[in-house]
């Protein structure tokens, strides 16, 4: 069964600093990959997704992610974090051969931004 690992439960960065959130997946083929963000008490907002093609994906709010097949990773990055980026971030994968678009989520990374 496919799985998603987000090794960092909590991350704290200073405003203006760069950010990298890690995501590793376990799956035989290349799955579809997603990053979502959740603010407290809210639903999930899609930041970006990777299906195929260019391995560096640009998303909303200045985020980008890079798919590295050799490392089974899809890390999320942002060059300069804003205080409003404080939220919970979820990496998710979808098995494109599974006959449906069910997502498997990682456990999430809570981002705190220090002013």
Partner 1 sequence: GAVVSQHPSWVICKSGTSVKIECRSLDFQATTMFWYRQFPKQSLMLMATSNEGSKATYEQGVEKDKFLINHASLTLSTLTVTSAHPEDSSFYICSASRDRVTDTQYFGPGTRLTVL
Q: Is 42 in the site for partner 1 (CB under 8 A)?
A: yes
Distant-in-sequence, close-in-space partners of 43: CB < 8 Å, separation ≥ 6: none
Distant-in-sequence, close-in-space partners of 2: CB < 8 Å, separation ≥ 6: 25, 26, 27, 31, 93, 95, 104
DSSP code of residue 108: -
Closer to partner 1 by CB, 18 or 51: give it: 51
Question: Taking contact as CB under 8 A, which single stretch among the options 16-24, 36-44, 66-74, 75-83 is the one that binds partner 1?
Answer: 36-44
Residue with tokens 């980008």: 64
Q: Is 103 in the site for partner 1 (CB under 8 A)?
A: yes
Q: Is 32 in the site for partner 1 (CB under 8 A)?
A: yes
The residue within the footprint of partner 1, chosen from 8, 49, 64, 73 (CB under 8 A), is 49
Q: Which of 73, 38, 77, 85 is nearest to 59 (CA)?
A: 77
Closer to partner 1 by CB, 46 or 56: give it: 46
DSSP code of residue 53: S
Binding site for partner 1 (CB under 8 A): 32, 34, 36, 41-46, 49, 51, 90, 96, 99-103, 105-108, 110
């Amino acid at each position: 069964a496919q799985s998603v690992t987000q090794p960092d439960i909590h991350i704290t960065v200073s405003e203006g600093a760069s950010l990298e959130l890690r995501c590793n997946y376990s799956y035989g083929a290349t799955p579809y990959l997603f990053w979502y963000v959740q603010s407290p008490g809210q639903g999930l907002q899609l930041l970006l997704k990777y299906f195929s093609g260019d391995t560096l994906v640009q998303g909303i709010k200045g985020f980008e992610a890079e798919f590295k097949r050799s490392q089974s990773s899809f890390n999320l990055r942002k060059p300069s974090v804003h205080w409003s980026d404080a939220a919970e971030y979820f990496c998710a994968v979808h098995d494109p051969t599974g006959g449906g678009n069910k997502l498997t989520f990682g456990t999430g990374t809570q981002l705190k931004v220090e002013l």
